[in-house]
Chain A
């Protein structure tokens, strides 16, 4: 069975440019997460979806970040405009949730963003 798939793996852009990351979760996983991981740090939650609904986006910087999961499967995370401080790895994860977070997440390999 395929795991969580993310693309692109690497992206280099200049500041003020837009960027988008795509995630395809494990089939049948209702819950999808986007995490931010800075160098030497643990992942920090940006947004969590239950099917199409964003149930926790309290840590998403909404002035420049946006996310969508239109059909409750794939998801896209966008940054516009990107800033130097956005350089990090963006992780997507999915889980079988069903109303209770078990903490058992399946992660993709991440998308490494470098903003010049």
Chain B
């Protein structure tokens, strides 16, 4: 079946640091890939997506590239801000069902 593995948290960085949150998946075929984010006290919301190999999803300064050869969809941001503190979920869509990773909690220190 489909599955997803993402970097365990918490991840703590200083403001303006470079961020990478790793995500790998197993799925039949080529699923669409998503990152969702959950800010404190809020519901999950879609951050970015990529629907085919080599696509790059981007939003709010975050990027992730669909790597078919490594079945990965790592989330990156060049300069994080305190407001990026949240829990991030990698989520492949396979067999008509979206599967969420366990989430990576990110703390950004001012």
Chain A residues with CB under 8 Å of chain B are 3-4, 40-45, 56, 91, 93, 100-110
Q: Within the complex, which residue of A102, A103, A110 is in contact with B91, where a contact is CB–CB below 8 Å? A: A103
A105-B100 Cα distance, complex, nearest whole Å:
12
Would you call B101 and A42 a contact (CB within 8 A)?
yes
A35-B8 Cα distance, complex, nearest whole Å:
21
Decide: A91 near B49, CB < 8 A? Known: A42-B89, A103-B34.
no
Across the A-B interface, give the 9 residue pairs with the lowest CB-CB distance, nearest first: A42-B100, A103-B93, A107-B43, A107-B44, A109-B43, A101-B96, A103-B98, A43-B100, A42-B102
Would you call B43 and A110 a contact (CB within 8 A)?
yes
A87-B46 Cα distance, complex, nearest whole Å:
26
Decide: A43 near B43, CB < 8 A? Known: A56-B97, A101-B93, A105-B98.
no
Would you call B98 and A108 a contact (CB within 8 A)?
no
A96-B73 Cα distance, complex, nearest whole Å:
24
- Asked if B32 CB lies within 8 Å of chain A CBs, one says yes
A103-B41 Cα distance, complex, nearest whole Å:
23
**Interface residues as binary, B49-69 with A (CB distance below 8 Å gives 1, 0 otherwise):** 100000000000000000000
Residues on A with C-beta less than 8 A from B93 are 101-103
Residues on A with C-beta less than 8 A from B42 are 109
A38-B59 Cα distance, complex, nearest whole Å:
27
Q: Within the complex, which residue of A3, A4, A42, A102 is in contact with B103, where a contact is CB–CB below 8 Å? A: A42
- Asked if B79 CB lies within 8 Å of chain A CBs, one says no
Nearest to A42 among chain B residues (CB) is B100
- Asked if B45 CB lies within 8 Å of chain A CBs, one says yes
